[in-house]
Amino acid sequence: MKSLKTRIIVTLTILWVIGVTIDASSSYWLARRHINELLDTHLQGAAVWLSAGNVGAIGSHGPPQHSLDGFVGQIWKRGLVEPTDNTDPEVLFDRHAPDGYSVESINGQPYRLYTLRKNAGELVYQVGQPIAFREDTATQAGLESLVPTLVRLALIWLLIPLVVRGAFASLSRAAVQAERVGVGHLKPLDTSDVPQEVRPFTDSINRMIARLQVGIEAEKRFIADAAHELRTPIAALQLRVDNMANAPDMASRVERERELREAILRSGAMIRQLLELARADADLEAGATEPVDVRQLIQNLVADLLPVADSRSIDLGVRQFDPAFVQAREGELRMAVRNLVENALRYTPAGGSVDIDVFRQKSDVVVSITDSGPGIPEESIQRVFDRFYRLQADHVEGSGLGLSIVRAVIDKYHGAVTLANRTDGFNGLTATIVLPVIDAEQWKTPAAAS
């Protein structure tokens, strides 16, 4: 039963039937009990009437088979074997029955009997009634008491589906609105008449729509920016192809071919960074991360970039180097740190230095890259994380995507990345990555532990 509406209707109906059954059973039992108590009261009252001499008021329509209520009255005197008065000669009670109520079998038929003695037992007044009559009367009264209950059951049986469908009508309208949601129609659902119990669900849908709207707008801006940025290198490629085709001699052709290759490399680098940025923006899948040894990652990265630093006469090295592990994708984290180190090498002049520090800070691991370059104007420190924003675009090559990639990766792992100009009396910039640290002991290999 997958339909929530059907489940609620069936559940409410079953609960109501159970409740009505209990109520009907109680009403039936109580009605029978009250009728029996009322008839007992009538028996006692009839015995009192007999004792007052009102014999003719009992069984006035003949014997029990012809009487409306089946009452039989008898008066006994001490010493006599037959009653002095008897409304039904075919019925004879036991004059020695106990005072009050009792049950006797007369001619194979049970009777409810009330016995009243006066004058120290000189006179005995007895009134009886067939129990079958009493049962029929009580059963009829009990069944009549069920009529209102059965009417209520029928009405509720009809009303429950109507009420449930009415309660779900607002959800149906919200579902119709949700069907219209698309890339071109990201309007939040109208939750003004949605039941309070369902409001958290519809609110979460509206929050999802808002996130989709923000994401789609960001993608639109990214595509527009990418198209704008790619237009220039593509035009440059076309221009260099034309120049190479129109080269007047072999030397010019070789030079223009070199320029074309450089332009192709720059375009390829930009496209590669666009793909990296797209991967960095993608949601992190559950179970896709692993423990990453930050110190080992930095060590490998320095080894890879050391030839680049040597070719530019830049001192690349590590100062503080504490052990630390983080939970991440190693390839993405390496890409983020590499972008920061490459930026530092790109902007640091020959003879300068780039220093890397790795250390623990409370429950975080900090990776700091400090260079001796020109730094960044304070008003531009936040803007450099914008996509395609470049400082010194005329002097330093780049696509303006490196820092955007770094921020996207670090944000994905609940960390933070900041840039700050050096305040130790030297020119330069310090880029800092802060990530949550994990316990390293459980990730130690046997060789490392030994």
CATH code where residue 273 lies = 1.10.287
Asked whether the beta carbons of 423 and 414 are under 8 A apart, the reply is no
- Determine the pLDDT at residue 396: 47
| CA pair distance 152, 69, nearest whole angstrom | 33
Residues 263 and 303 in one domain: no
List the CATH number of the domain containing 54. Answer: 3.30.450
Of the listed ranges 21-35, 379-393, 413-427, the least confidently predicted one is: 379-393
3-state secondary structure of 434: strand
- Same domain (yes/no): 314, 407: yes
Q: Are 35 and 138 in contact (CB under 8 A)?
A: yes
pLDDT tens digits for range 282-321:
565 656 788 999 999 999 989 988 988 999 999 999 988 8
- The answer to whether position 251 is within a domain reads yes
One domain, residues 9 and 117: yes
Q: What's residue 314's pLDDT?
A: 93
Strand, helix or coil for residue 371: strand
Q: How confident is the model at residue 277 (pLDDT cuts 50, 70, 90)?
A: low
Same domain for 238 and 387, yes or no, is no
Residues 75, 127 share a domain: yes
Pick from 114-128, 173-187, 357-371: least confident: 173-187
Report yes or no: 345 and 312 within 8 Å, Cβ to Cβ: yes
Q: Which helix (H) or strand (E) holds 225?
A: helix 199-245
Residue-level pLDDT at 421: 93
Give yes or no for residue 405 having a pLDDT over 70.
Answer: yes
Q: What residues form DSSP beta bridges with 75?
A: 85, 125
Structure tokens that stand for 173 in this block: 């309208």
Which two tokens mark 147?
């009529």
What's the chain's average pLDDT?
78
One domain, residues 273 and 297: no
pLDDT grade for 325, boundaries at 50, 70 and 90: very high
Q: Which among 58, 125, 119 has a CA at the least distance from the CA of 95?
A: 125
300 and 238 within one domain: no
Count Cβ atoms within 10 A of the Cβ of residue 241 and give its class: 0-12 exposed, 13-18 middle, 19 or more buried.
middle
* Residue 290: φ, ψ to 5°: -150, 160
Question: How many domains does the chain divide into?
Answer: 3
> Which residues lie closer than 8 Å to 111 by C-beta, 6 or more apart?
72, 91, 93, 103, 104, 105, 128, 129, 130, 131
Same domain, 16 and 136: yes
Residues 447, 450: Cα–Cα separation, whole Å = 5
CATH number of the structural domain spanning residue 434: 3.30.565.10
Phi, psi (deg, nearest 5) at residue 270 = -65, -45
Do 274 and 297 reside in the same domain of the chain?
Answer: no
175 CA to centre of own chain: 18
pLDDT at position 358 is 93
In a domain, 192, yes or no: no
Residue 154 lies in a domain: no
Q: Which of 15-19, 66-70, 96-100, 302-306 has the lowest mean pLDDT?
A: 66-70
Quick one: average pLDDT of 29-38?
83
What is the extent of the structural domain holding 396? 287-449
The last residue of a domain, from among 279, 311, 326: 279
**Residue 188's beta-bridge partner residues?**
none
Same domain, 344 and 418: yes
Q: Does 371 reside within a domain? A: yes
Are 206 and 325 contained in the same domain?
A: no
Q: Which two tokens stand for residue 339?
A: 């972008």
Beta strands in 40-108 (DSSP E): 72-77, 85-86, 100-106
Distance of CA 85 to the CA centre of its chain: 83
> Does 174 reside within a domain?
no
* Of 249, 279, 309, the domain-final residue: 279
**Among the three residues 119, 140, 161, which one is the final residue of a domain in this structure?**
140
**Based on the domain organization, do 15 and 62 belong to the same domain?**
yes
123-130 and 290-293 beta bridge pairing = unpaired
Q: What digits encode the pLDDT tens for the residues 168-223?
A: 676 677 677 777 776 666 777 777 766 676 677 778 878 888 877 777 776 666 66
Per residue in 243-261, pLDDT (tens digit) is 777 878 888 888 878 877 8
